[in-house]
Structure 1
Amino acid sequence: MLRPRIIPCLLVKDGGLVKTVKFKDPKYVGDPINAVKIFNEKRADELIVVDIDATVNGVEPNYKMISNLAMECRMPLCYGGGVRTAAQAKKIVSLGVEKVAISAAALENMSLITQMAEEIGRQSVVVVLDVKKRLLGRTFDVWTHNGTKNTKREFIEVAKEAEQLGAGEIVVNSIDDDGKMSGYDVALIKKLRESVKIPVTVLGGAGSLDDISKVIEECGTVGVAAGSLFVFKGPYKAVLINYPDLRQKDEMIKSALRR
């Protein structure tokens, strides 16, 4: 049975682990392999790794890096960045990755979702929607290429189409909240959760475990992903890989679901 998942999200640039704020100014924070080792020890539910260079630079995924991450990772691993074909997705899965995430390539050619689902199985196809609020109202556009290109497509419309075409999961990432650590946009998450039947994972804004609890309390069984929360510690944002221990995590999820 699907249960809420608490998921670290690691951004990789030039082979190093970085963090951004509103998709800008990447700051180097360490080695991704070391981070994976720590999340192994802390028994994270799942791990998302995104190469933020690959799509922007128009290069293929770094298969050597992916292989190294997959060999080290002892939890389900989702990789995204530079994937443009079903053949690439198949190669990534063959390296030991459970899920392959696509964003820009899917928005440019939605049939890629179906092609990937046929090649690697629907459960392994993740469509990432990086969204930004329009100037007026509560409508969100989907953006690509690290938040620099506006597709001018409304995110719920895209999410529903992705589901119909064979996506096994939708990740919604709030550009407005990225790295700010001021809480998730729960209304945004609720809207997506109510619009599709496939699993949903949310990203952007986590500043505390209470923020994660609030999402689970309000939205139920979702994946709740975070970057800064699991990389930084304390008011001065010292770099320290962290994650709730197993008992704390289980109690937090049970408490949120009871409310």
Structure 2
Amino acid sequence: MLTKRIIPCLDVKDGKVVKGINFVGLKEVGDPVELARKYYEQGADELVFLDITATHEHRDTMVNVVKEVAKEIYMPFTVGGGIRTIEDVRKMLRAGADKVSVNSAAVKNPKLISEGAEQFGNQCMVLAVDGKKREDGSGWNVFVHGGRIDTGLDALEWIKQGVALGAGEILLTSMDTDGTKAGYDLEFCKAVRNEVPVPVIASGGCGSLQHFYDVFDQEAADAALAASLFHYDELTVRDVKEYLKEKGIPVRL
């Protein structure tokens, strides 16, 4: 039985880690290299870095952050945000990232996924999807540009297409639960997991130990991502893993 992964997420803006609710109201919470080291020492399975001000002017800042982090930790980490070209993918992998996540740019140019998978392998290409339930409850739409623009794309169809193009993993953020601490969007996660053969990372809404348990117990995801819970020391990664192990969920301690 595959162990379930616990993944802290760091939203990086201008070289600093920040946190908001429902994608707005950002507050600075620390230095990315220090936080990465802290989570590595706590036993995180992976890290995700999202550059949330990823205009071209900030690109070099992020490359430097990735280089510094790669020196400090010995676990896989994924970098996303503003990765628009194969050259951006190459830059991040060369700086020390193990995977890159693509979101808005892949919607605009799906070939980015297939080219990345061909050149660097499927395991390097993570498709990040920000989804929101439609008003009529008939499914979920894909949002881009930090959750600001509704593409009108059906999330399940887009994810299936992304995997067919070569995405090796799905980072699934529910905009309905993001930052609410009301729990992961189990319905959305399960719907995606039932459609694709690649691992699904649940993101958005975790507020307690119980929420980590629920997402795995209900087989809604292969990994669980959280941010503010860890940044504000409400829980450590170790706390989460010990709790899950006691509850019979397979984790790597």
With normalisation by structure 1, the TM-score equals 0.90
Equivalent position of 2:46 in the other structure = 46
Bigger Cα displacement from structure 2, 124-133 vs 136-145: 136-145
Question: Quick check: 1:11–1:49 contact (8 Å CA) kept in 2?
Answer: yes
Equivalent position of 1:126 in the other structure = 126
RMSD over equivalenced CA pairs, Å: 2.1
Q: What runs of 5+ residues in structure 1 fail to find an aligned partner?
A: 235-240
d(CA) in 2 for partners of 1:178, 1:247:
22
Correspondence list, 1:84-95, <5 A: 84-95=84-95
Question: Quick check: 1:4–1:253 contact (8 Å CA) kept in 2?
Answer: no
Q: What are the superposed Cα offsets for residues 3-56 of structure 1, whole Å, 9 maximum, x if unpaired?
A: 21111111011211111100111111111111111112111111001011105x
> Cα distance 1:138–1:182, how it changes in 2: closer, same or farther (>3 A)?
farther
State the SS of the aligned residue for 1:224: strand
d(CA) in 1 for partners of 2:240, 2:129:
30
Equivalent position of 1:242 in the other structure = 236
Equivalent position of 1:251 in the other structure = 245
Correspondence list, 1:210-229, <5 A: 210-219=210-219, 222-229=222-229
Alpha-carbon shift at residue 250 of structure 1 (Å): 5.7
Determine what percentage of the aligned residue pairs are the same residue: 37
Correspondence list, 1:1-259, <5 A: 2-55=2-55, 60=59, 62-219=62-219, 222-233=222-233, 242-245=236-239, 248=242, 251-252=245-246, 254-255=248-249
Question: Quick check: 2:190–2:221 contact (8 Å CA) kept in 1?
Answer: no
d(CA) in 1 for partners of 2:241, 2:170:
28
Question: Quick check: 2:209–2:240 contact (8 Å CA) kept in 1?
Answer: no
Alpha-carbon shift at residue 87 of structure 1 (Å): 2.1
> Cα distance 1:91–1:212, how it changes in 2: closer, same or farther (>3 A)?
same
> Cα distance 1:255–1:88, how it changes in 2: closer, same or farther (>3 A)?
closer
Q: What runs of 5+ residues in structure 2 fail to find an aligned partner?
A: none
State the SS of the aligned residue for 1:219: coil
d(CA) in 2 for partners of 1:52, 1:246:
27
Question: Quick check: 2:130–2:172 contact (8 Å CA) kept in 1?
Answer: yes
d(CA) in 1 for partners of 2:187, 2:240:
28
Alpha-carbon shift at residue 60 of structure 1 (Å): 3.5
d(CA) in 2 for partners of 1:41, 1:189:
29
d(CA) in 2 for partners of 1:183, 1:98:
28
Question: Quick check: 1:216–1:253 contact (8 Å CA) kept in 2?
Answer: no
With normalisation by structure 2, the TM-score equals 0.92
d(CA) in 2 for partners of 1:139, 1:246:
31
Aligned residues between the structures = 250
Q: What are the superposed Cα offsets for residues 57-115 of structure 1, whole Å, 9 maximum, x if unpaired?
A: 78646211221122222211000011111122122112221110000110001111000
Bigger Cα displacement from structure 2, 213-222 vs 151-160: 213-222
Question: Quick check: 1:170–1:199 contact (8 Å CA) kept in 2?
Answer: yes
